[in-house]
Chains A and B, each alone.
Chain A
Amino acid sequence: MKLRQFFGTTALTAALAASAPAMAWSLKEAAAPYAGTEIDVVFLLRPGYEAIEAMLPEFEEETGITVNIIKHPYENALGEQVRDFVAGGDLDIALIDLVWIGNFAENEWIVSVDEIMEKYPDIIDPDLDMDDFFPLVLNAFGGWNGTIYGLPFDNYSGLLFYNRCMLEEAGFDGPPETWTDLKDVYGPALTGDGKYAFALQSKRNETQSADSFARVIWPFGGSFLDADFRSNLMSEESQAGLKFRQDLMQYMPDGIVAYDHAETVNAFAQGDVAMITEWSAFYSTVVSPDTSRVADCVEIAPEPVGPAGRKPALGGFSLAVASQAGEAEQAAAWLFIQWATSKANAGEYLERGGVPARQSAYADPALAETYKFIPALVESWQDGVPEFRPRFAEWPEITEIVQEWGTKMMLGEVTTEEGAQEIGERMEAVLEDAGYYSGDKPLAQ
């Protein structure tokens, strides 16, 4: 089902390309009927959004479409959009974190790419080339239950940022290959005198669920749910990952449960921490001398391997057309999304600090010299787990449970077994209430 629909989208794109009139398709002409249209979209306060915002005048001039950007911090973005869609508000484009896609799709707040292609064939760029997106990223960020809704826009993979100078000083000629080495070999050697080997951002918000909790269960073979959608957190593998995190905390700064992305990246950029596992989006922050004291020492590697392999954190956003938008706004919204995620603009987007999900953007091997994160990123996008965090509509409720009990585990208020038991029971109650066990809902995550 998934494959059929995915290939359906791809085939339709190819057919549109083949049947394109002799005269070349141009954005300007495609957008002409929608000149003067205004569209509203939520953006985050992150480098990838600043990059596209800087490129926006070119799009607006070419199309006559005005893009109104409403900026929110990540923590507010879901709530703002949910309230807008529930109230039939003004948003014409949905900004979708990969864990929101099930929610948005099931509530029919977004329009599938297939529907857009059927409804507005004249605005589809023949060079859209859906196959050019990394399949894992397209499927995880923009797809739900076999249907593609959004195009990957602000794309992340977890990477290991390490301070080469600190590692060399301690006698290491490269980063740890495995999580066990990071803890047992690099941890003791790099911790002391107010410096720490590692920092794992674990603040009680989505950071705790995504960056901390999920990051340790997957490489050790664990997962949130088993095949029957029952909790898998009491499994030997999940427990191994959670206990590993407890052990690793001795090589992290005090109060790591209060560290969000900013604190973690700052600790690394100040030279207080030798290694962090962070999103690729923070690359520009740690290599800029304006924001980093260790800019010259920063190197990037894929996240370490666990007993179950390399299962790096996967996160990122897609843009999708909102179903509440009027016809002109839907068309204008698609034109913007298509332009922002296009092959043609991927290079400039990368230069300005964004991370495109286009395979073609990374084809030039010379790019790796300028952007050190590229090889690790491309490698990570081969091995990622789409359900790194379940993407169904119940995730907002479940993440709150994981955040609360995950933090309690780290603080030593409960054991990993007690915490996992609590999360499991509460998570199953949410899933039962949603109808997964009665067969009312498919077991899609």
Chain B
Amino acid sequence: MRGRVSRGTILAFIGPAVVGLAAVGIAPLLYALWTSLHFFNLTKLRRVEFIGLENYGTVLTDPVFWQALGRTMTLLGIALPLQIGLGLGIALILHQPGLTLLKTLARLSLVLPMATTYAVVGLLGQVMFNQKFGVVNQLMGGADINWIGDPTNAFVMIVFWDVWQWTPFVALVLLAGLTMVPGEIEEAARLETSNWWKVLRHVQLPFLVPGLVAVLILRTADTLKLFDMVFTLTRGGPGSATEFISLMIQRVGFRAFDQGLASAQAIILLIITIVLAQIYIRVFYREV
């Protein structure tokens, strides 16, 4: 079969995708790499010069970078387990037999948070969490909680919105994993035991692992590049309370215009993301 397809045909099919990927993915990455090795400030273009790894040295010794990274990891460490726990719960409920129409409606409604534009989520948050007029405080019996202006509350608010928006994604991925479990095996297991935990642990979980690894990788990458929602909601404040790593990079690159330093920060972030993804795959991933 293989011999029948000419090399030209293969190239014709794969070539455009490779060229497209190179144009929109590889070329900007290489340019960012080049920029990161230079003093490159948009408002001082006459001074562009090769400075080797100086930008990387600046990033790695800058406490602000590590604080922003730590903040981002804290968000990931809090939001991701919540999303997985709630998502698994929703998936298990939707996997129960019966109530087909309701389940279909529930599945459809799960798409809504994901379909909401990130920036709009932030703007909604500004209104809903307004200390004086916001619906959240009203629902809490007219509480006078300062959500946006208090560092801790602002962080809690970001966690809330991230969980609200991405738990449905986790639920749908895990629900897809549950549907992969062969019906006869699951049925046999249920005949063997009425303990749902045993069924989940020994029968369903192995089929959920690939989905869970995908969730870990995607959500980690998403959290590391979380920008729009936070930018429109708190702009990284108050103080630095919600200045996550991507907001910091945007600030350096587009508000202080130091593209060289921002590129070095972005490259380091990319390396961190790749390393984390590799760790997830090696530690958690198992073929069923």
Question: 7 closest pairs, A vs B, by CB?
Answer: A255-B149, A258-B149, A257-B238, A204-B237, A255-B146, A407-B239, A397-B256
CB distance from A209 to the nearest CB of B (A): 12
Contact present for B240 and A404 (CB under 8 Å) = yes
B residues in contact with A255, CB < 8 Å: 131, 146, 148-150, 238
Contact present for A396 and B255 (CB under 8 Å) = yes
Of B40-48, B180-188, B265-273, the segment with at least 4 beta carbons within 8 Å of chain A is: B40-48
User: Is residue B263 within 8 Å, beta carbon to beta carbon, of the partner chain?
Assistant: no
The residue in chain B whose Cβ has the minimal distance to the Cβ of A202 is B238
B residues in contact with A103, CB < 8 Å: 43
Most chain B beta-carbon contacts within 10 A, residue among A78, A86, A257, A408: A257
Complex: A194 Cα to B229 Cα, angstroms: 30
The residue in chain A whose Cβ has the minimal distance to the Cβ of B150 is A255
Interface residue ranges, B against A (CB under 8 Å): 42-45, 64, 131-132, 146, 148-151, 154, 234-240, 251-252, 254-258
Complex: A257 Cα to B154 Cα, angstroms: 12
Q: Chain B interface secondary structure, helix, strand, loop or mixed?
A: loop
User: Is residue A181 within 8 Å, beta carbon to beta carbon, of the partner chain?
Assistant: no
Complex: A358 Cα to B38 Cα, angstroms: 46
User: Is residue A4 within 8 Å, beta carbon to beta carbon, of the partner chain?
Assistant: no
Contact present for A83 and B42 (CB under 8 Å) = yes
B residues in contact with A257, CB < 8 Å: 149, 237-239
Complex: A86 Cα to B148 Cα, angstroms: 36
User: Is residue A203 within 8 Å, beta carbon to beta carbon, of the partner chain?
Assistant: yes
Knowing A82-B43, A404-B240, A407-B238, the reply to whether A396 touches B149 (Cβ < 8 A) is no
B residues in contact with A79, CB < 8 Å: 254-255, 257
Supply 13 further A-B pairs (C-beta < 8 A) apart from A103-B43, A255-B150, A258-B237: A86-B45, A107-B45, A205-B235, A254-B131, A254-B150, A255-B131, A255-B148, A255-B149, A255-B238, A256-B149, A258-B234, A396-B43, A396-B255
B residues in contact with A404, CB < 8 Å: 64, 239-240
User: Is residue A393 within 8 Å, beta carbon to beta carbon, of the partner chain?
Assistant: yes
Knowing A254-B146, A254-B149, A255-B148, the reply to whether A411 touches B239 (Cβ < 8 A) is yes
The residue in chain B whose Cβ has the minimal distance to the Cβ of A79 is B254
B residues in contact with A78, CB < 8 Å: 255
Knowing A79-B254, A254-B149, A255-B150, the reply to whether A393 touches B44 (Cβ < 8 A) is yes
User: Is residue A400 within 8 Å, beta carbon to beta carbon, of the partner chain?
Assistant: yes
CB distance from B88 to the nearest CB of A (A): 35
Contact present for A397 and B239 (CB under 8 Å) = no
CB distance from A161 to the nearest CB of B (A): 20
Complex: A103 Cα to B254 Cα, angstroms: 15
CB distance from B140 to the nearest CB of A (A): 16
Complex: A413 Cα to B132 Cα, angstroms: 25
For B42, give its contact among A86, A254, A408, A410 (CB under 8 Å).
A86
Most chain B beta-carbon contacts within 10 A, residue among A83, A255, A256, A259: A255
Complex: A203 Cα to B42 Cα, angstroms: 25
Complex: A400 Cα to B256 Cα, angstroms: 7
